[in-house]
Amino acid sequence: MRDEIQDELNRVSGSLVIMAKAVREGMRQASTALLAADHTLAQQVTVRDAEIDVLYRVIEDRVYDLVARRHPIDGDLRTVMTALQVAADLDRMGELAVHVARAALRRHPQTAVAPELTSLFRAMATVADELGAKIVAALADHDPVLAGQLDGDDDAMDELHRGLFSVMLSRDWPLGVEAAVDGALLGRYYERYADHAVNVGHHVLSLTTGRTAEPA
Amino acid sequence: MRDEIQDELNRVSGSLVIMAKAVREGMRQASTALLAADHTLAQQVTVRDAEIDVLYRVIEDRVYDLVARRHPIDGDLRTVMTALQVAADLDRMGELAVHVARAALRRHPQTAVAPELTSLFRAMATVADELGAKIVAALADHDPVLAGQLDGDDDAMDELHRGLFSVMLSRDWPLGVEAAVDGALLGRYYERYADHAVNVGHHVLSLTTGRTAEPA
């Protein structure tokens, strides 16, 4: 029974890794579409998000099935419930990539990012991608070290987010309200993306801690 | 066994109603603090959110305990898993009220809402409060009719949200970038609050539908 639960947990865990990879790729595409005003790429983000939604449902169904048929307890139950929370965070990260892509589509063929903000958003996109890479690796290897590093990346994102506002709210901001409103909302999407990545990291940490505390 | 599960589900359900009431009250206070630039009230929202966090943990623990000890299946398992998702949505709504309160605190003693936007934000606050009232009632009475009405309220919120942007992005917007950025972010908080309320409504609907399909 224990082995069967473990097998099914491994399958759920494998699906989470696939989902995290799709989420990372979605945000990479969304960022590129945003900075290059690439219409086709922006539309692909929506297609990718539909795949992410399917993966989310698959994971939910597997978890329900596992709980209903195998009655996991203690650490296994925590793991399975945590998997659901990770899937919910990943799902939301996919939606945030869609928001970024939609912002790009709304201003096409112009870019939604004002030239004064390009370097900041390029840096935010880089941090978002590093966060994406780390949660993929942390989920694949159950690596608590990688999971713990996410907080540092999130601090970097918060710093960029503050920098964004100080540029937009400075007296010599040369552009109008529309560019600033776009900047504020886009900044919020990246910041929330990082928050959810940190959540995923905390979940991985709680799982690995749980495993240490309760060896199989 | 079935009766014991039902008793525990009722307790979880009761906690969700208490949590939803606290969330509604938090957003009421945040909206009042925002529109009246009330520093004390804004601070109280943070205290209330700490209570909401505690309720969330209590509900999570109860659900884990129920699943681990009673092994619910089928409809009961769906109910218990759905309760977790409702609690997560309510938790996020509480956090959004804190964001509104923080925006009020940041601009104190000025108001964070530009005079041109006061009537729009008053309307958004009213819709948010109606959504809050309806999810309390829907959770308390498992009322699918109330739960279904949330979509209509969400449409009203989206309409106000669009109105907000059309005011801020019009050529004769008399205020600067800062007021527009505040407006954009605050608008986003109310819009997300409504989205989560709709999620809660959908969860209540799926539960009531489940119950109809599988009479106790």
Nearest CA in chain A to B70: A71
Distance from CA of A43 to the nearest CA of B (A): 22
Q: Residue A214 — pLDDT band, cuts 50, 70, 90?
A: very low
- What's the average pLDDT block by block, 10 residues per block, for chain B (216 residues)? 87 96 98 97 96 96 93 90 95 98 95 94 98 96 90 95 93 87 96 97 83 34
- The residue of A56, A74, A175, A177 whose CB has the most chain B CBs within 10 angstroms, and thus the best one to mutate to test that interface, is A177
Task: Tell me the CATH number for domain A2-213.
Answer: 1.20.58.220
Identify the pLDDT of residue B210.
Answer: 55
pLDDT in tens, A25-73: 999 999 999 999 999 999 999 999 999 999 999 999 999 999 999 999 8
Higher pLDDT, B169 or A188: A188
B185 min Cα distance to partner chain A (Å): 7
Among residues of chain A, what percentage have pLDDT more than 70?
A: 96
Residue A210: pLDDT band by 50, 70, 90 thresholds? low
Closest by Cα among B56, B208, B216 to B141? B208
pLDDT band with cut points at 50, 70 and 90 for residue A101: very high
Tell me the CA distances in angstroms from B47 to A195, B54, B108, one per residue in order: 22, 11, 18
| Residue type at A106 in one-letter notation | R
Closest CA to B185 of B118, B129, B113: B113
Chain A: residue whose CA lies nearest to B81 = A64
- How far from chain centre, in Å, is Cα B42? 17
ipTM confidence score: 0.87
Longest dimension (CA), chain A: 67
Token pair recorded at residue B136: 């309390």
Question: Residue B181 is nearest to which of A67, A84, A169, comparing CB atoms?
Answer: A169
Q: How many CB pairs under 8 A join A and B?
A: 58
Shortest alpha-carbon distance between residue A32 and chain B (Å): 24
Q: Could you give the C-alpha distances from A187 to A118, A161, B100, in angstroms and in order?
A: 12, 6, 17
Is B33 an interface residue toward A (CB < 8 Å)? no
Question: With an 8 Å Cβ cutoff, are B88 and A84 in contact?
Answer: no
Nearest residue of chain B to residue A76 (CA atoms): B68
Neighbours of B71 (CB within 10 A): 17
The domain segmentation of chain B, as residue ranges, is: 2-213
| A184: DSSP letter | H
Residue of B16, B21, B192 lying closest to B93 (CA atoms): B192
Confirm or reject contact between A192 and chain B (CB < 8 A): no
Inform me whether the C-beta atom of residue A185 falls under 8 Å from chain B C-beta atoms: yes
Model confidence over A122-135: pLDDT tens digits?
A: 999 999 999 999 99
Q: Does B73 touch chain A (CB under 8 A)?
A: yes
pLDDT digits (tens, 9 = 90+) for B160-181: 999 999 999 888 888 889 999 9
Sequence-ordered list of residues with C-beta below 8 angstroms from that of A208, at least 6 positions apart, any chain? A142, A143, A144, A147
Average pLDDT over residues A176-182: 91
